[in-house]
């Protein structure tokens, strides 16, 4: 029940943030007659987003199980508060999935080979068959991890040295973040860089 409430709050936050982006884009090209209303709406959205972030934080603080899981997930370099809330809201933990691969597949981050009959038609791609909100939310954390953290840089350099393209590396890190989050929650221990090649 607590996770369902968190999911509702997180999905509402995602909707408000998407609305804010749309209004910002409109404000750039709007005529003077309507720009004031758009700016006022953006300010209202800012207030709603700020209040919702506080509500999400408070909801997690008030639930000992969610709070404990949050503390573990926050130990992963590159994973911020919003991403943690999403991972908790979508129950990316051993209580729901048998293994990390199942959790990654739920997010549509499992690699799929394109085939026709017995022929392989190109390189593997992300299946994108899972939850769009969760998958979209992992894109920026993957970039931050790859370019701003020690373990992410090592991961990126290793794949780049193997000739992997940038977008493939980003997708691989999105999947890796799910695996690491699952592992941290399963073990009950904070992130350990030694387990990830750094």
pTM: 0.83
Q: What are phi and psi of 41, to 5 degrees?
A: -65, -40
Q: Tokens 């991972």 correspond to what residue?
A: 87
pLDDT at res. 108:
83
Q: Residue 116 forms beta bridges with which residues?
A: 119
CA distance 94 to 96: 5
Q: What are phi and psi of 120, to 5 degrees?
A: -90, 125
Would strands 115-116 and 111-112 be described as parallel, antiparallel, or unpaired? unpaired
pLDDT at res. 125:
55
CA distance 17 to 49: 7
pLDDT at res. 129:
60
Nearest to 100 by CA among 183, 174, 28: 183
Q: Which residues of the chain have pLDDT under 50?
A: 115-117, 119-121, 127
pLDDT at res. 188:
93
Helix (H/G/I), strand (E/B), else coil: 124: coil
- Encode burial over 4-23: b for 16+ CB neighbours within 10 A, e otherwise: eebbebbeebbebeeebeeb
Q: Are 171 and 136 in contact (CB under 8 A)?
A: no
CB atoms within 10 A of CB 119: 7
CA distance 170 to 153: 12
pLDDT at res. 63:
96
pLDDT at res. 124:
54
């Amino acid at each position: 029940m607590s996770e369902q409430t968190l999911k509702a709050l997180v999905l509402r936050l995602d909707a408000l943030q998407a609305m804010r982006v749309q209004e910002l884009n409109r404000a750039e090209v709007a005529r003077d007659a309507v720009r004031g209303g758009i700016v006022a709406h953006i300010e209202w959205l800012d207030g709603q987003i700020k209040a919702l972030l506080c509500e999400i934080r408070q909801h997690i603080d008030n639930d000992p199980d969610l709070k404990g899981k949050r503390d573990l997930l926050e130990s992963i370099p590159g994973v911020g508060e919003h991403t943690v809330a999403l991972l908790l809201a979508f129950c990316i933990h051993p209580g729901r999935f048998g293994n990390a691969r199942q959790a990654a597949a739920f997010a549509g981050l499992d690699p799929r080979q394109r085939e026709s009959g017995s022929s392989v038609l190109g390189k593997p791609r992300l299946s994108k068959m899972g939850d769009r909100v969760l998958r979209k939310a992992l894109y920026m954390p993957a970039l931050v991890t790859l370019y701003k953290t020690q373990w992410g840089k090592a991961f990126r350099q290793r794949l780049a040295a193997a000739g992997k393209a940038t977008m493939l590396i980003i997708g691989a890190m999105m999947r890796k973040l799910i695996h690491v989050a699952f592992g941290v929650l399963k073990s009950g221990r904070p992130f350990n860089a030694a387990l990830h090649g750094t």
